[in-house]
Every structure is written in C-alpha cells, then in structure tokens.
Structure 1
C-alpha cells in the first residue's frame, strides 16, 4: 500500500484491487468494486481498507475546526458526445 495522505491534494489516488480512493482537499471519492472473500487474501484486503479508513478518520478527528457540513459545488455534467 502506498502512502495515501487523505485530503492533502487534488491529484493523489490509491487502489485496493478495483476500489479506488481519490483524494481531493475537501473530500475523498470512493468508486469501483471490492470483494472481501472469507480467506487469507480477503483478510489482507480488509486490513488494507481498514488502514485507509483509519487514516481518513484520524485526519478528520485531528481538525479542531471541522465544520458540521461543507457545501460542495457539484461537478458539471458533460454533454453526451454520441447523441
């Protein structure tokens, strides 16, 4: 696992199999798909996910000025080039 630093920049991302965590300075986007199987491999995957979530939680808890809820500007829709 690489050294993913939550909320640090708008360019970093990391992946666990087909699940991607994408950094932004005001949010973390998760997308993709992840299967945690009931075996040693599944345990390893679960621990990787836990470590990333623990890092996100620690970063949020360390912010003394953490707002109740931020207002995010939705990303613009892209016109379908095939229509």
Structure 2
C-alpha cells in the first residue's frame, strides 16, 4: 500500500509537468485530468490506510485536506482551460 500511495502521489505533479511540456492545450488538459484521477486515488488510499490502522485520524485529516485542496486547484485549472478552448 505504501508503494502504491507513493506512486499515485508522484503521478500528480509528473503528469502536470508532462502535460505542460506538450505545448498543446488539449494534451495539457488530458494530463491534468490524469493528475486529478491520481489525486482521487491518493484520497482513496488514505482512507484505506486509516481504516486498516496505518494512519491515525489526525494524520489522515491533514493529508486528506491537502489532497482535496490540490484536487480543487486541478478542477479550477481544468475548468479554465475548457472555457478557453470553446
């Protein structure tokens, strides 16, 4: 589980970076959506870690809050790009 959580966490910024380097709004948008999906995977894995006792409630709450904020920022960026493409 630890390795899967690490992979999903690292996937978020690497997909953002890869999409940005593509120099195409549509490709960037695609990679932002992949990054957002990875953020969702992180949230899910955090919940599982809490349920099985790998995380205490305080750590879970802090980490979950941070990944939710990241997810909101990704959503805002995706919305902004979608509006500019139209």
TM bin (shorter chain): 0.3 to 0.5
From the CA coordinates, give the structure whose radius of gyration is larger: 1
The answer to which structure, 1 or 2, has the higher relative contact order (CA under 8 A, 6+ apart) is 2
TM-score normalised by the chain length of structure 2: 0.40
TM-score normalised by the chain length of structure 1: 0.41
More strand by share: 1
